[in-house]
Amino acid sequence: MPKLIAFNNVTLDGYFTGPNGDMSWAQNDDPEWNQFVIDNAMPEGVLLFGRVTYELMTMYWPTPMAKENNPILADRMNALQKVVFSKTLESPSWTNTRLVKRDIAAEVRKMKQQPGNDMAILGSGSVIAQLAREGLIDQYQIVVHPVVIGAGRTMFEGLENKLQLKLLGTRTFQNGNVLLSYETTA
């Protein structure tokens, strides 16, 4: 059975996007961090997105610039199967993408029952909140960036019940980022 992993970047004050969706604070390049991103990217599996994150990703990963700047990651991102959850998107433009307009939780339950590789949600705070509420996320990989922005959106907006998580591990990077890995306990 595939696991569902939520991977997200957050600020020290807990926001995964700043006002107006700004994520420029997450761009703190260094060789160690860049290698981690490549190593952590699934060579197989399925990526899950909400519409906003999907549209941001399609503005970069299928472009020649992505292929030139980061060929390994671009190849993986473009080759992986992708599912975008959206009631407003008409048709996906990125290769290997399937559009789901109906019940997100029901679709993910079905996907988790089928044989296959793990799935990862990148960004997509509203999708994470909905699936967390349903207990469908198995693991959280949260990268805390050493910046405070004062306003934005939290990854768990609308979550009404607390999540009990067990720490799997931490990793500190030279650029000040800290990776926190958790699994759900219930």
Q: What is the DSSP letter of 19?
A: G
User: Is the confidence at residue 21, as pLDDT, over 90?
Assistant: no
Q: Tell the burial category of 153 from Cβ atoms under 10 Å away from its Cβ (0-12, 13-18, 19+).
A: middle
Amino acid 145: pLDDT = 95
What CA–CA distance (Å, rounded) separates 105 from 102? 9
Residue 177: C-alpha distances to residues 10, 120, 125, 141, 182 (Å):
10, 20, 20, 12, 16
User: Is the confidence at residue 99, as pLDDT, over 80?
Assistant: yes
Per-residue pLDDT tens digits for 135-161 = 999 999 999 999 999 999 998 888 888
Give the DSSP H/E element, type plus range, for residue 132.
helix 125-133
| pLDDT band (50, 70, 90) for residue 123 | confident
Comparing 125 with 109, the larger pLDDT belongs to 109
User: Is the confidence at residue 19, as pLDDT, over 80?
Assistant: yes
Amino acid 140: pLDDT = 96
Amino acid 134: pLDDT = 93
User: Is the confidence at residue 56, as pLDDT, over 80?
Assistant: yes
| pLDDT band (50, 70, 90) for residue 16 | very high
Amino acid 11: pLDDT = 96
User: Is the confidence at residue 182, as pLDDT, over 90?
Assistant: yes
Give me the domains of the chain, ranges plus CATH numbers.
4-184 (3.40.430.10)
Q: Which of 29-33, 43-47, 90-94 has the highest mean pLDDT?
A: 90-94
Give me the half-sphere count of Cα atoms (radius 13 Å) on the Cβ side of residue 76.
14
